[in-house]
Amino acid sequence: MNLEYVILGLQNHFCRWGRNSKLKLKEVFSIMKPAGVVRKVDQLGRIVLPKSLRKRYQMNEGDPVEILVQGDHIILERYRPKCVFCGSIDEVSEFKERYICGACVSDMMQIPKHG
Tell me, what CATH number does 68's domain have?
2.10.260.10
Q: Are 28 and 73 in contact (CB under 8 A)?
A: no
72 and 89 in one domain? no
Q: Are 14 and 28 in contact (CB under 8 A)?
A: no
38 and 22 in one domain? yes
Instruction: Please report whether residue 22 resides in a domain.
Output: yes
Contacts of 17 (CB under 8 A, 6+ apart): 4, 5, 23, 28
pLDDT tens for the chain, 115 residues long, are 333 444 443 333 333 344 444 455 555 555 566 667 888 999 999 999 888 888 888 889 999 988 888 888 888 888 889 999 999 999 999 999 999 999 999 999 999 888 6
Q: Domain of 43? A: 6-78
**Interval 66-92: pLDDT, tens:** 888 888 888 888 888 999 999 999 999
68 and 104 in one domain? no
Instruction: Please report whether residue 1 resides in a domain.
Output: no
- Report d(CA 59, CA 2) in Å as an integer: 9
